[in-house]
């Protein structure tokens, strides 16, 4: 990354208020990043993706109610369609032409549904560790918990069903699961500060956790819509990802011409893993974007 890469910050109007954005670099086909969560800001995506700002403009934004964006006081705004409208407003408001669109986890759910329903004029779609069915995903999470030593499933899901989440061991067991299936690097390049999370967003959309989705996303499922996607698509996830490689394989199999990559040695947040894995994650994305641009140039010629 060039130390001279230009950084511009500001806000753009979206349904329900204004969201904060950060633009870095210039030239090339722009890359916009949709953070995961739901309810956690985009700053954890800064370190890894700044490396791409030497060759193109990279755009991060905090979804409404999160981070530096306007707060959400009305839970009725926390529905998928509004988030899709938000993405459209950010792309239009920032004047992005045929962008690459990367979404991680919840962000990948959004860019998949957007591409399936709205036929966007994007250069490529990159979905990192997304899911296409909330119920299937929850079942897979519980299966992974059941396979860990120390009765992690009972200490988390069992306590939740029993209404005993105040037990300190409830969070301790969740951390045991996270260290295996969400982030395996004990020293990530940026601190994950849970105090930054929007709990109204998380609770409204998910509920208590991914392993027991009770919020607005409870019945969310777009497997039967994925065949409509006509944007060059990369589905990428980790070997130990709690969005199971089989789930990601099935997503890619439904999208015409989609590619699927499983990164070895990492879990759900490859961009925060040890430096070799972070670098590999960015290299895979860089290569895919370059090939998508080359195909577009050939098509136009």
Give the catalytic positions in this structure.
105, 241, 268
Longest dimension (CA), the chain: 63
**CA distances (Å), 34 to each of 38, 111, 123, 176, 298, in order?**
10, 8, 16, 27, 28
Q: How many CB atoms lie within 10 A of CB 11?
A: 16
The tokens describing 25, both together, are 């670099």
Cα–Cα distance for residue pair 239/216, rounded to 1 Å: 29
Quick one: angle between helices 106-118 and 80-93, nearest 10? 80
Cα–Cα distance for residue pair 292/270, rounded to 1 Å: 22
Buried b or exposed e, range 73-106, using 16+ CB within 10 angstroms: eeeebbebebbbbbbebbbebbebeebbbbbbbb
Cα–Cα distance for residue pair 283/260, rounded to 1 Å: 15
The distance from CA 179 to its chain's CA centroid, rounded to whole angstroms, is 18
């Amino acid at each position: 990354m060039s130390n001279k890469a230009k950084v511009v910050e500001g806000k753009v109007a979206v349904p329900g208020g204004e969201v904060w954005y950060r633009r870095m670099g210039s030239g090339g086909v722009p890359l916009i990043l949709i953070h995961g969560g739901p309810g956690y800001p985009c700053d954890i995506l800064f370190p890894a993706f700044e490396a791409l700002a030497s060759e193109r403009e990279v755009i991060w934004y905090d979804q409404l109610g999160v981070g530096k964006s306007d707060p959400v006081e009305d839970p009725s705004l926390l529905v998928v369609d509004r988030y899709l409208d938000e993405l459209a407003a950010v792309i239009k408001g920032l004047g992005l032409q045929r962008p690459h669109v990367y979404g991680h986890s919840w962000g990948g759910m959004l860019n998949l549904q957007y591409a399936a329903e709205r036929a966007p004029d994007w250069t490529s779609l990159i979905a990192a560790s997304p899911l296409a069915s909330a119920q299937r995903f929850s079942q897979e999470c519980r299966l992974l918990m059941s396979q860990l030593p120390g009765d992690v499933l009972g200490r988390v899901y069992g306590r939740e069903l029993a209404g005993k989440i105040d037990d300190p061991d409830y969070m301790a067991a969740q951390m045991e699961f996270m260290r295996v299936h969400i982030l395996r690097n004990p020293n990530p390049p940026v601190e994950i500060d849970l105090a930054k999370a929007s709990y109204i967003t998380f609770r409204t959309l998910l509920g208590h956790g991914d392993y027991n989705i009770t919020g607005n996303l409870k019945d969310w499922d777009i497997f039967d819509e994925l065949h409509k996607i006509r944007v060059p698509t990369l589905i990428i996830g980790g070997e130990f990802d709690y969005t199971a490689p089989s789930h990601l394989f099935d997503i890619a199999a439904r999208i015409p011409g989609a590619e699927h990559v499983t990164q070895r040695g990492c879990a759900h947040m490859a961009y925060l893993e040890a430096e070799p894995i972070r670098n590999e994650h960015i290299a895979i994305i860089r290569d895919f974007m370059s090939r998508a641009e080359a195909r577009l140039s050939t098509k136009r010629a």
